[in-house]
A and B are shown apart, each in its own frame.
Chain A
Amino acid sequence: MKTNDVMLQTVTKVVTFIILMFAVHIFFAGHYTPGGGFVGGLLTASAIVLLMLAFGIQTVKKIVPVNYVVMTSVGLLLAIATAAASILFDVPFFTHAYDYFDLPLFGETSLHSAMLFDAGVYLVVVGVTMTIIQTIGEDE
């Protein structure tokens, strides 16, 4: 049976992008204010889940052809590698480095190595959440 979900699909097409933009905002806000890779990852995952609800798992697999287990693994490696870079400089593990840079368009911006770690967290969260949801969703 196919239900009529024109409304859901139309709204999803707009809302998904809003959620994704918000996820990016939250991700970058995370260093000095609440937010970060974990919440950003959850928001991204929720956008993909919304797409799945509106268009079905198979369609979404076609438009986002990502192996989420690999994504989790890459995220983990990125996070550990960032933290482990401190070993090379012989400072305690997890010590982060930061400095201020003058970037075009953004003006003076502070860049942190912690951001790379957070990007790893982001990938792990999206990967794990989507693996769980796909596994449960495909069971029926």
Chain B
Amino acid sequence: MSNLLLFPIIIPLIIAAALMLFPNKIKMQRLIALLGALLTLISSVFLLFKVYNDGIQVVTLGSWPAPFGISMVSDLFSSLLVVTTSLIVLFVVLYSFPTIGIKREQSFYYPAVLFLMTGVNGAFTTGDIFNLFVFVEVLLMASYTLIVHGGERQQLRESIKYLLVNIISSALFVAAVAFLYSVTGTLNMADLAVKIPQIENTGILTVIAVLFLVVFGFKAAIFPLYFWLPASYHAPPMPILALFGALLTKVGVYAIMRTYTLFFTMNTGFTHELLAIIAILTILAGCVGALAYFDVKKIIIYNIIIAVGVILFGVSQLNEAGVQGSILYLIHDMMIKAALFFLVGIVAVIFGTSNLRKMGGLMKTYPVLGWTYLVAAFGLAGIPPLSGFPGKLLIVQGGFEGPQFWGSIVILATSLIVLLSAVRIFIYAFWGEPVETKPLKKPAYNAMLFPSMILVAVTVFFGVGAELFMPFVSGAAEVLLNPSLYIEAVFKE
């Protein structure tokens, strides 16, 4: 069926529109939202195997021929990310039941989450750069709703900054798309990959490539452009933070990975070296933040920035090991960040604060939570055989094979800082003298712990069974490194 690749986009859209009809029936909202996320996950897994067995899936909307209509392209890379996204949204919906509160559930919380899912899945699937802008706007609209959802004082203040930064970056995005169109005369990504190598004047294209790096860099939170992220992400409640932290920056990372492998390859000596340098600076800046704060949310938020740097460094090397490592690490990072936010969310609820200095001694009262967190923290730092290890290993290998070997050394050294920052939460919150805790009912605690533990278990499986996933990852990297496969798939129709 040719339309299968659109199912992970259409299902959440229909469910979200339907949920708007009865905002006050909470039981129905929860049930249908869960069902929608589950259906999306099933269809995306189905799609992944279809792409794996039958090659890249393409549908050009409205039956127009390829460079004129909007192409939606699902290769292994994008379908892997769609599966991961659907999985995370499913867990976020589960985690929201005990944590988000009835007031928020009654005011279109689940529709907003599903609209966000529509935007993210669409951005991962589209094969047209203007359509990418449209889907990014869809997910941004939903994220505006979510960041201000509930209307607390801090949320209102931070949402103004968040809105302003994103509106400016969206305006730049349209401008960059217009420049690209005026030079190449097309916006279809496959067509761009055909036309860009034919243009002799690479100077202007390099400028456009850097402009796109700035645009996507705002979304992905790379070095000088991450300034808005820590404060904005700190404001909304934990399930929303987990959703943002796991998915939103990754759309920017995906867009950089896609454009910098598919068509902005005319002047790699400049653009990709710039990307590598910025990636390393991003890692360093993130490390400073992760060590500087005594707030559990902030520590994990700065770890998002570190991970963005690690992933982009792998891509900038443009060799097999680097790109494979980036894909593995990207998927790992989406899941582990959601899991960590879930876990520190439980810790923050138990203590009634996210300040590490006011915590201590949880190991006696909540041992399962403690061990689950420790596994997740080791996974984040990439201790073998957990999920961060294979991705980071390949990225480091790619760096040593590529032109920027010093970057690999920085990544290895900063892994220790990542470990330190994550274990510091463990030491302060779980060891030491017990501190007075807020009473937490057993069923609510279990309802929070259950999705977190399953998600951590999934990441462990992803790390230990990395060999199982390697055929998918190497297939995804193959398409990224050989744009001709992508081009042929789009134009064969």
A residues near B (Cβ < 8 Å) are: 69-70, 72-74, 76-77, 80, 84, 86-87, 90-96
A95 CB contacts on chain B under 8 angstroms: 62-63
Q: In this assembly, does B143 line the interface, its C-beta being within 8 Å of a C-beta of chain A?
A: no
Contact between A92 and B62, CB atoms less than 8 A apart: yes
Counting chain A CB atoms within 10 Å of each CB, the highest count among B3, B61, B69 belongs to B3
B72 CB contacts on chain A under 8 angstroms: 93
Contact between A84 and B17, CB atoms less than 8 A apart: no
Interface range on chain B: under 10, 10 to 19, 20 to 34, or 35 or more? 10 to 19
Q: In this assembly, does B20 line the interface, its C-beta being within 8 Å of a C-beta of chain A?
A: yes
User: Which of B14, B21, B59 is A93 in contact with, Cβ under 8 Å?
Assistant: B59
Contact between B17 and A76, CB atoms less than 8 A apart: yes
Q: In this assembly, does B6 line the interface, its C-beta being within 8 Å of a C-beta of chain A?
A: yes
Please give the distance in Å from A63's CB to the nearest CB on chain B.
23
B326 CB contacts on chain A under 8 angstroms: none
Contact between A84 and B60, CB atoms less than 8 A apart: no
Question: Secondary structure at chain A's binding surface: helix, strand, loop or mixed?
Answer: helix
Q: Which residue of A lies closest to B70 (CB)?
A: A94
Q: Do A73 and B21 form a contact, CB below 8 Å, given A80-B10, A84-B10? A: yes
Contact between B20 and A69, CB atoms less than 8 A apart: yes
Q: CA A73 – CA B17 in complex, angstroms?
A: 5
B1 CB contacts on chain A under 8 angstroms: 87, 90
A80 CB contacts on chain B under 8 angstroms: 10, 13-14, 17
Q: CA A115 – CA B454 in complex, angstroms?
A: 47
User: Which of A69, A72, A87, A96 is B3 in contact with, Cβ under 8 Å?
Assistant: A87
Counting chain B CB atoms within 10 Å of each CB, the highest count among A74, A90, A92 belongs to A92
Q: In this assembly, does B53 line the interface, its C-beta being within 8 Å of a C-beta of chain A?
A: no
B6 CB contacts on chain A under 8 angstroms: 87, 93
Q: Which residue of B lies closest to A74 (CB)?
A: B21
Chain B positions 55 through 73: 1 when the CB is less than 8 Å from some CB of chain A, otherwise 0? 0000111110000010010
Q: CA A77 – CA B17 in complex, angstroms?
A: 6
Contact between A70 and B3, CB atoms less than 8 A apart: no
Please give the distance in Å from A6's CB to the nearest CB on chain B.
40
User: Which of A69, A73, A92 is B61 in contact with, Cβ under 8 Å?
Assistant: A92
B61 CB contacts on chain A under 8 angstroms: 92-94
Please give the distance in Å from B20's CB to the nearest CB on chain A.
4
Q: In this assembly, does B35 line the interface, its C-beta being within 8 Å of a C-beta of chain A?
A: no
Please give the distance in Å from A69's CB to the nearest CB on chain B.
6
Q: Which residue of B lies closest to A96 (CB)?
A: B62
Counting chain A CB atoms within 10 Å of each CB, the highest count among B60, B62, B72 belongs to B62
Q: CA A73 – CA B115 in complex, angstroms?
A: 12
A92 CB contacts on chain B under 8 angstroms: 2-3, 59-63, 69
Known A80-B14, A93-B10; 8 more pairs at CB < 8 Å: A72-B20, A73-B21, A76-B17, A80-B13, A80-B17, A91-B2, A92-B59, A92-B62
A87 CB contacts on chain B under 8 angstroms: 1, 3, 6
Q: CA A69 – CA B23 in complex, angstroms?
A: 10
Q: CA A41 – CA B62 in complex, angstroms?
A: 24
Q: CA A74 – CA B63 in complex, angstroms?
A: 26
B416 CB contacts on chain A under 8 angstroms: none
Q: Which 3 A-B pairs have the closest CB atoms?
A: A76-B17, A73-B20, A94-B62
Q: In this assembly, does B18 line the interface, its C-beta being within 8 Å of a C-beta of chain A?
A: yes
Please give the distance in Å from A10's CB to the nearest CB on chain B.
38
A77 CB contacts on chain B under 8 angstroms: 14, 17-18
B62 CB contacts on chain A under 8 angstroms: 92-96
Q: CA A77 – CA B69 in complex, angstroms?
A: 23
Please give the distance in Å from B492's CB to the nearest CB on chain A.
14
10 A-B residue contacts at CB 8 Å? Answer: A69-B20, A76-B20, A77-B18, A80-B14, A87-B1, A90-B2, A91-B2, A93-B3, A95-B62, A96-B62
Please give the distance in Å from B459's CB to the nearest CB on chain A.
34
Please give the distance in Å from B57's CB to the nearest CB on chain A.
12
Please give the distance in Å from A41's CB to the nearest CB on chain B.
16
Q: CA A117 – CA B6 in complex, angstroms?
A: 18
Please give the distance in Å from B480's CB to the nearest CB on chain A.
25
A91 CB contacts on chain B under 8 angstroms: 2, 63
User: Which of B21, B59, B69 is A70 in contact with, Cβ under 8 Å?
Assistant: B21
Counting chain A CB atoms within 10 Å of each CB, the highest count among B13, B17, B59 belongs to B17
Q: CA A90 – CA B4 in complex, angstroms?
A: 10
Q: CA A137 – CA B1 in complex, angstroms?
A: 48
Q: CA A73 – CA B14 in complex, angstroms?
A: 9
Q: Which residue of A lies closest to B111 (CB)?
A: A73
Q: CA A77 – CA B13 in complex, angstroms?
A: 9
Please give the distance in Å from A50's CB to the nearest CB on chain B.
27
Task: Name B1-27 residues within 8 Å CB distance of A.
Answer: 1-3, 6, 10, 13-14, 17-18, 20-21, 23
Q: Which residue of A lies closest to B62 (CB)?
A: A94
Q: CA A86 – CA B72 in complex, angstroms?
A: 15
Q: CA A70 – CA B38 in complex, angstroms?
A: 25
Q: CA A69 – CA B17 in complex, angstroms?
A: 10
Please give the distance in Å from B116's CB to the nearest CB on chain A.
15
Q: CA A38 – CA B69 in complex, angstroms?
A: 21
Please give the distance in Å from A60's CB to the nearest CB on chain B.
22
A73 CB contacts on chain B under 8 angstroms: 17-18, 20-21
B18 CB contacts on chain A under 8 angstroms: 73, 77
